[in-house]
A and B are shown apart, each in its own frame.
Chain A
Amino acid sequence: MEATVTTATEEKVWSGGNEPLGASYGKMMMWFFIVSDALTFSGFLAAYGFSRFKFIETWPIADEVFTHFPFLHGVDAPMYYVALMTFILIFSSVTMVLAVDAGHQMKKTKVTWYMLLTIIGGLIFVGSQAWEWKNFIKGEYGAVELKSGRILQFLDGTTGERVALSEFAVPVASDRVEHEEKDGIWFVSDGGLPTYSLEEVKAGFAANKNLVVRTERLTAEGKKTVLSRAESEERLEQAVMVVEGANLVRNEYGNRLFADFFFFITGFHGFHVFSGVVLNIIIFFNVIMGTYEKRGHYEMVEKVGLYWHFVDLVWVFVFTFFYLV
């Protein structure tokens, strides 16, 4: 209300200096940037939804993909780590809003400490994201890709447990060596051979009679379809290559679009977090140097705060659509 007091003279309305929306120029522009960025993220997430609906019966199950927790090797911990990351980000949002609150009361020391906590939270989050990427890229069990581009994963037929390629592949003598630049044709790179060749995986599969494969297709209960031994042998005939881990072209977890969207959306979000940390650090030093104390208000803290909360807000949606739904 107070900002639209234009009773003095009519000309005053048009001569600038008033704030019809009750927000300063900088804050309003930060909000308008956030609106456009929110639309960008919605575009990405909607595209993800589009592809997921297209391949609804063969989409990878997130609980089976993200199962790692730091220092707990071999423990199946679906979602716990990403839930912890979510907490860290929400908490850094809380310290940010506390910094803004302290800024309103012109308490420099409190603003400094809360900004520092926010920066630390952001750094832990980006680090965790990098660690998730590392696990996702490295892969866990390995799989084979068929002529159709579909993925077959290996299971123990009796226990139903996943089996890694390294547990059953048998060494087979092979002439295939990685092409190197020094061998001539220096402008062509090989891209690296997989740890096990297709022949080794097939030989290992033939030698272990209790192994079966599962396809990407989901059953009515939402599990992957496990084939019988005879069907498995037949499907494995179609295998063309061994896939380990995930990248933008191959994905051992199933549909490659899953990996593409994962890298793209969490990467874009991670870049936002990184930019947010950089902005927070700049503001942090400004706070320490007393820039805002001299200026008489801490509105800059409020503006980066808006951006930081927005990053948290986006993560809430990414978390839901990549890990929960």
Chain B
Amino acid sequence: MAHAHESNTSRIWTVFIILSVVTIVEVALGIVKPSWSMAPILGMKILNWIFIILTIVKAYYIAWAFMHLEGEKGSFRWSIVLPLLILIPYLVFILLVEGNYIHDVYAEGFVSWDF
């Protein structure tokens, strides 16, 4: 492969800095918990959405730069990433909707669970 003998050190350190900054931002937000971020959007607090989006950003950098997906052939890259991109949101969607439904059953039923 043509790229095999080049050094990618600068790219590695850049990604490390990005990952560190994102983690620091996450921890800072988790400790400060600013009041504007407590408002719910789409069933969750803004803060939680921020955490999830930042996590996906980190996952992207780890997979693309560290695991070197960006250097693989497109067919290989997407045969790895696409199944995950399809199956995981699908599973999460089903289970969270179901969990929420059971929560409502507990909350609105005529049985007391907290006594």
What are the 4 closest A-B residue pairs judged by CB atoms, nearest first? A53-B99, A21-B76, A22-B73, A50-B99
A321 to chain B, nearest CB (A): 8
Per-residue A-contact encoding for B13-56, CB less than 8 Å = 1, 0 else: 10010011001001100110000001000000000100110110
B residues whose Cβ falls under 8 Å from a Cβ of A: 1-2, 4-9, 12-13, 16, 19-20, 23, 26-27, 30-31, 38, 48, 51-52, 54-55, 58-59, 62-63, 65-68, 72-73, 75-76, 79-80, 83-84, 87-88, 91-92, 95-96, 98-100, 102-103, 106, 112-115
Per-residue B-contact encoding for A37-66, CB less than 8 Å = 1, 0 else: 011001100110111111110100001000
A35-B84, A51-B99 known; A22-B72 Cβ under 8 A: yes
A306 within 8 Å of B (CB atoms): yes
A42-B92, A313-B62 known; A94-B12 Cβ under 8 A: yes
Main secondary structure of the interface of A (DSSP, over half): helix
**Considering the complex, which residues of chain A in the window 138-170 have a beta carbon less than 8 Å from any beta carbon of chain B?**
146-148, 150
| Distance in angstroms between the alpha carbons of A43 and B87 in the assembled complex | 10
A-side interface size class: 35 or more
- B23 A86 Cβ-Cβ under 8 A: yes
B28 to chain A, nearest CB (A): 10
Query: Count of A-B contacts with CB under 8 A?
Result: 152
| Distance in angstroms between the alpha carbons of A91 and B1 in the assembled complex | 27
A297 to chain B, nearest CB (A): 9
A264 within 8 Å of B (CB atoms): no
| Distance in angstroms between the alpha carbons of A76 and B20 in the assembled complex | 23
B2 to chain A, nearest CB (A): 8
B47 to chain A, nearest CB (A): 8
Main secondary structure of the interface of B (DSSP, over half): helix
Q: Using Cβ atoms and an 8 Å threshold, which residues of chain A touch B13?
A: 94
Contact of A78 among B4, B31, B115 (CB under 8 A): B31
Q: Using Cβ atoms and an 8 Å threshold, which residues of chain A touch B96?
A: 46, 49-50, 53
- B58 A316 Cβ-Cβ under 8 A: yes
Which of A98-106, A122-130, A275-283 lies at the interface? A98-106
A54-B103, A324-B51 known, 17 other contacts, Cβ within 8 Å: A22-B1, A42-B88, A50-B96, A50-B99, A53-B96, A55-B103, A56-B100, A83-B23, A96-B66, A97-B66, A104-B4, A104-B6, A305-B66, A309-B63, A320-B51, A323-B30, A325-B48
